Amino acid sequence: MPSANGTREITYVEAVREALTQSMQADERVFLIGEDIGVYGGAFGVSAGMHAEFGGERVIDTPISEAAIVGACVGAALTGMRPVGEIQFMDFITLGMEQLVLQAAKVRFMFGGKATVPMVLRTPGGSGTGAAAQHSESLETWFTHVPGLKVVMPSTPYDAKGLLMAAIQDENPVIFVEHKLLYKVSGPVPEEPYTIPLGEPNIVREGKHLTVVATSIMVQRAKQAAEELAKEGIEIEIVDPRTLNPFDDSLMIQSVVKTGKALVVHEAVKTSGYGAELVSRIVESEAFDYLDAPVRRLAGLDIPIPYNRNLEYHAVPQVENIVAEARKLVRGEY
């Protein structure tokens, strides 16, 4: 894949749009389907201008019918197309769960491996927009609990483009979780099409004192925390799984072997969150013998996302929380 260095910078939302556009230009089987994705351009502007470029047959506006949107993706994928569905807010995926969990994820296995369901379901998750409890959830862990689904969560514009192009080319149903607060974040993204293999994590920053495993927007916050911590002489290593499931954990485990300490950070609520899976993998591995501190989780509080700006801010990990928790672990103040 091309390097991100020395290329132009675009935003995360532009990177997602570029991945969709280039995939549709390269493969006429790819089409988009979802609510308000046409002339409106999508609730977050992801598909802005794409209806004009590709027309209503390939950028399909739907009624508000999430079960049928997901089912339409399953049926089209089973019969030779490569649909990319959009669920307007991740919370609304609850209305399409049956088609996603009982159909998309299981059809291939139930049919003895004789069917393929190459579909992508994109959806924006996360809090920080003041949209309160029904438009701010981070539900990605649910889907990691369903064999047959792949779950991808890009944290940078570069990853967003490469992972989405890979997801569209993948033969399996992929849940592609974008973050609303990342849409306006800029970063270097090569203009040419490229893919990042699903399942491969990324060492975002190298360090020796502590391994921080973070997902989605928490990768950005961990990077900011790393700058603060570096001023105190604490160098954290940041691992971004990028694909939550299936996930090759060997890089993460090697990192913990090196640092001897681990902190897992995600926005979703703590109880039974993805962090529990990451911590389990660390303590079940050879890294156990190298641990010289408890493995800790920093995650969203076990509450729905509140409306009030200050309460919302305190519901999920912020940079200062990561700094404080990392400092405690490194200094042995736990």
Partner 1 sequence: MAKSKNAQTSQPAAKRKLSDKQLHDMLYTMMLIRRFEEKALDLYSLGKVHGTMHLSIGQEATAVGASGALTQQDYLLNTHRGHGHCLAWGSQADLMMAEFMGKETGYCRGRGGSMHIANVDANNLGANGIVAGGLPISVGVGLSIRARNTEQVVMVVFGDGASNEGAFHESINMASIWSLPVIFLCENNQYAMSMPVEKSMNIDRISDRAAAYGIEGVTVDGNDVEAVYAAVHNARQRAVAGKGPTLIECNTYRYMGHSKSDRQAYRTRDEVKTWMDKDPIERLAGHLGLSKDDKDSLFKKAEAEIEKAVEFAEASPEPDVADIMEGVYA
CB of 87 to partner 1, least distance (A): 14
Indicate the residue among 54 and 142 with the shorter CB distance to partner 1.
54
CB of 315 to partner 1, least distance (A): 31
Q: Does 25 interact with partner 1 (rule: CB under 8 A)?
A: no
Binding mask 64-103 for partner 1 (x = CB under 8 A): -x-xx-xxxxxxxxxxxx-x--------------xx--xx
CB of 224 to partner 1, least distance (A): 35
Indicate the residue among 87 and 182 with the shorter CB distance to partner 1.
87
- Active-site residue, selected from the candidate residues 51, 135, 179, 266: 135
**Could you give the CA distance from residue 324 to residue 98 in angstroms, rounded to a whole number?**
41
Indicate the residue among 118 and 207 with the shorter CB distance to partner 1.
118
Among 115, 230, 303, 311, binds partner 1 (CB under 8 A): 115
Q: What Cα–Cα distance (Å) separates residue 62 from each residue in 20, 55, 100? A: 18, 14, 17
**Could you give the CA distance from residue 112 to residue 224 in angstroms, rounded to a whole number?**
47
> Among this protein's residues, is 51 annotated catalytic?
no
Identify the burial level of 251 via C-beta atoms within 10 angstroms of its C-beta, where 0-12 means exposed, 13-18 middle and 19 or more buried: middle
Q: Does 124 interact with partner 1 (rule: CB under 8 A)?
A: no
* SS3 assignment, position 212: strand
Indicate the residue among 170 and 240 with the shorter CB distance to partner 1.
170
Q: Does 283 interact with partner 1 (rule: CB under 8 A)?
A: no
Write the DSSP string, 147-200. Answer: TT-EEE---SHHHHHHHHHHHHHSSS-EEEEEETTTTT-EEE--SS-----TT-
Q: Does 38 interact with partner 1 (rule: CB under 8 A)?
A: no
Query: Under rule CB under 8 A, which residues in 159-178 are in contact with partner 1?
Result: 171-172
**CA 238 remoteness from chain centre:** 16
Q: Which two tokens stand for residue 136?
A: 């701010």
**CA 293 remoteness from chain centre:** 28
113 in the Ramachandran plot: left (φ > 0), alpha (ψ -120 to 50) or beta?
left
Q: Does 37 interact with partner 1 (rule: CB under 8 A)?
A: no
Alpha helices (H) along the chain: 12-26, 50-54, 66-78, 97, 107-110, 140-144, 157-169, 217-231, 250-259, 274-284, 309-315, 319-331
Indicate the residue among 105 and 263 with the shorter CB distance to partner 1.
105
**Residues taking part in catalysis:** 135
Residues in contact with partner 1 by the rule CB under 8 A: 29, 31, 33, 57, 60, 62-63, 65, 67-68, 70-81, 83, 98-99, 102-103, 107-116, 118, 147-148, 150, 171-172, 246
